[in-house]
Amino acid sequence: MASNVSELTTYKAYLGGKWEESSSGQTIAIKSPYLRETIGFVQAVTQEEVDAAIRAAHQAQKKWAALSLNERGAVLDRWADELIKNEKEIAGTVMHEVGKGDRDSRKEVVRTADLIRYTVQEALHMHGESLRGDGFPGGSQKKLGIVEREPLGVVLAISPFNYPVNLAASKIAPALMAGNGVIFKPATQGSISGIKMIEALDKAGLPKGVLSLTTGRGSVIGDYLVEHKGINMISFTGGTNTGRRLSKQSTMIPLVLELGGKDPALVCEDADLDVTVKSIINGAFSYSGQRCTAIKRVIVNEKIADRLVARLKNEVENLSVGSPEEDSTIVPLIDDPSADFVQRLIDDALARNATLIAGNRRRDNLIYPTLLDNVTKDMDVAWIEPFGPVLPVIRVKSDREAVEIANQSEFGLQASIFTQDIDRALAVARQVEAGTVQINGRTERGPDHFPFLGVKASGMGVQGIHNSLLSMSRQKVTVLNLK
C-alpha cells in the first residue's frame, strides 16, 4: 500500500453508470485498522447525486427487467468470473480495509462468486404457479389464475463493514436477478472493497444506470437514502440501533433487516468437549469476534463448567494474535472506538467480580482474546454485543435455566446447543428464540443458500438466496376468465 498521501488513490463513486468524483468536493479518508494509516479516499456524494442515481436506476431498470433471465444471468455469471479473476487484488483490499486475514478475505471473494452463480441458477429455476377457480367452493373451472413474479423497482442495499464484498453481493445479486435497479451504499469502512466489487460488475457489462454505488457516511447520507421516495425496497445489514432507526423512517416499502446478535452456546453436561471447545473457540474468536453470528456467550451446565473453562482457557491462550497478513485469528478491531467499547465491557465485568481466565490485554485497537468466567446477569457483557474477542461464561443448573437466560436477551439471531442426546437438543432448540439453532456446531450464516434470519432485535425478514429473490420481487396474478 502507498505510504504517503500524494500516492494514495481517491476512488470515484459509480453514479448512473459513470465513475465520477462528487460535486461535493469532499472525500472520506479510509484508514486501515491494522496498518493504522490512510489507504485511500472515497467520495462523499451529495443528495442531488443520490436523486440522479435513483432516477437513472428507475430508467435503466425497465430495460433491464425486460431482458430474459438468461440474459441477466449471463451478466452476473461474468461478474462472478471477474471477481475470481481479481481475487487476489480484491481480497488484498478487504484485508487492508477491514483487517480480515488474507485467507479469510480470499475465502470471502470466492464465496461471493459462488453466491452470485447460485443466485443465477436459483432464479432460472424459480417458477410461478397456476390455480383453477374450482379449487374453492362455488369457484368456476373457467377461472384460471396465473401467478408470476415481478421486480419491485429500485432496491437500496446497505451493507456492514465486516463482509464488505459478500454481504453486499448477497443483496445486489438477487436484486439484479429479480430485475430491479440497485442503489448500493457500502459501509464507509469497506467502501474501497465495495468499489472493487462494482468495478468487476461494470466490467461484466451491467447496463449503465441499473446500479449506482453511493459512497458517503451513513450518518450524513443514510437518512436521505432511506426516506427517498424513489426507493422501493430496503435490504439492510448492520447494527440493531441503525436498523431500528431505519425501520422508523422508511414508509410503506418492503424491508429486510439483518441486525446484531448475542448468540449463546448452550453446553449440556453430556456434551462432547472436543466438538464443543473447537466450535466455541472458532465461533467466538474468528476475525476477532467481528461476526454477527459469533458465539458471544457460553451458558454451561455447572456440572461440566470447570472442565469446559479449563479447555477453553488453553485454546484461548494459544490463539494467534497479530496481523491479518499472517492470518492471525485475533486481529486489530475495525477502529479505536470499537476497541474502547469492548474494553469497557471487560472492565465492567471485572468490576462486578467476573473471574478473568485469560486476556484483558490491549494494544491500540488490538484486544487480546479474553475469557471471563462466573459472569452474572448484572454484568453488561452478559447482554450487550461486543463485536470483539471477549467471551463470557455463565454457569447454570439446568436446561430450563439455560433457555431462560438465552431468551432473556433482546437478540435472537442464532444459538448453538452442545449435547450428545439428539432428543434433548431438539427439545432445547424448540424453546430457544432464534432464527437458527445449530446442534453441535458453531453459529454461522453459511452456507449461503440456507435461510438466514434474526428474530427480536436481530432482524426482520429472511435472507439466503431463495428468500432474497422472493423478498426483492412480488407476485403478479393474471386471471383468465374463459368462455
Q: Which residues are catalytic?
A: 258, 292
> If binding is defined by CB under 6 A, does position 264 make contact with ligand NAP?
no
Stretch that binds ligand NAP, among 185-193, 274-282, 355-363, 471-479 (CB under 6 A): 185-193
H helix and E strand count, the chain: 14, 26
Q: Which is nearer to ligand G3P, 165 or 201 (CB)?
A: 165
Size of the residue set binding ligand G3P (CB under 6 A): 9
CA dist 293 → 234, 264, 304, 473 (Å): 22, 10, 24, 27
Q: Contact letters (x/-) for ligand G3P, 410-449, by CB under 6 A?
A: ----------------------------------xxx---
Dihedrals phi, psi of 246, to nearest 5 degrees? -65, -40
Q: Spell out the SS3 assignment of 77-89.
A: HHHHHHHHHCHHH
Q: Which listed option, ligand G3P, ligand NAP, none, makes contact with residue 238 (CB within 5 to 8 Å by class)?
A: ligand NAP
Residue 175 Cβ, how far from ligand G3P at the closest point, in Å? 17
For residue 112 the three cell numbers come to 461471493
Residue from 44, 37, 54 nearest 23 by CA = 44
Among residues 36, 217, 361, 476, which is the contact residue for ligand NAP, using CB under 6 A?
Answer: 217
* Shorter beta-carbon distance to ligand G3P: residue 64 or 161: 161
Q: Which is nearer to ligand G3P, 135 or 447 (CB)?
A: 447
Instruction: Tell me the closest approach of the beta carbon of residue 163 to ligand G3P, in angstroms.
Output: 5
Q: Binding mask 418-457 vs ligand NAP (x if CB under 6 A, - otherwise)?
A: ------------------------------------x---
Q: Could you give the string, one character per residue 259-298, with x where binding to ligand G3P holds by CB under 6 A and - elsewhere?
A: --------------------------------xxx-----
Answer whether 459's CB lies under 8 Å from 453's CB. Answer: yes
Q: How far, CA to CA in Å, does 298 sit from each of 155, 290, 397, 480?
A: 38, 17, 14, 58
Look-up of cell digits 433471465: 69
Q: What is the Cα–Cα distance from 407 to 290, expressed in whole angstroms? A: 22
Look at residues 161, 168, 223, 231 and name the one whose alpha carbon lies nearest to residue 200.
Answer: 168
- Separation CA 428–CA 202 (nearest Å): 48
Which region among 29-37, 132-140, 179-187, 299-307 touches ligand NAP (by CB under 6 A)?
A: 179-187
Can you tell me which residue has the cell 453486499? 168
Where does this chain bind ligand G3P (CB under 6 A)? 162-163, 167, 291-293, 444-446
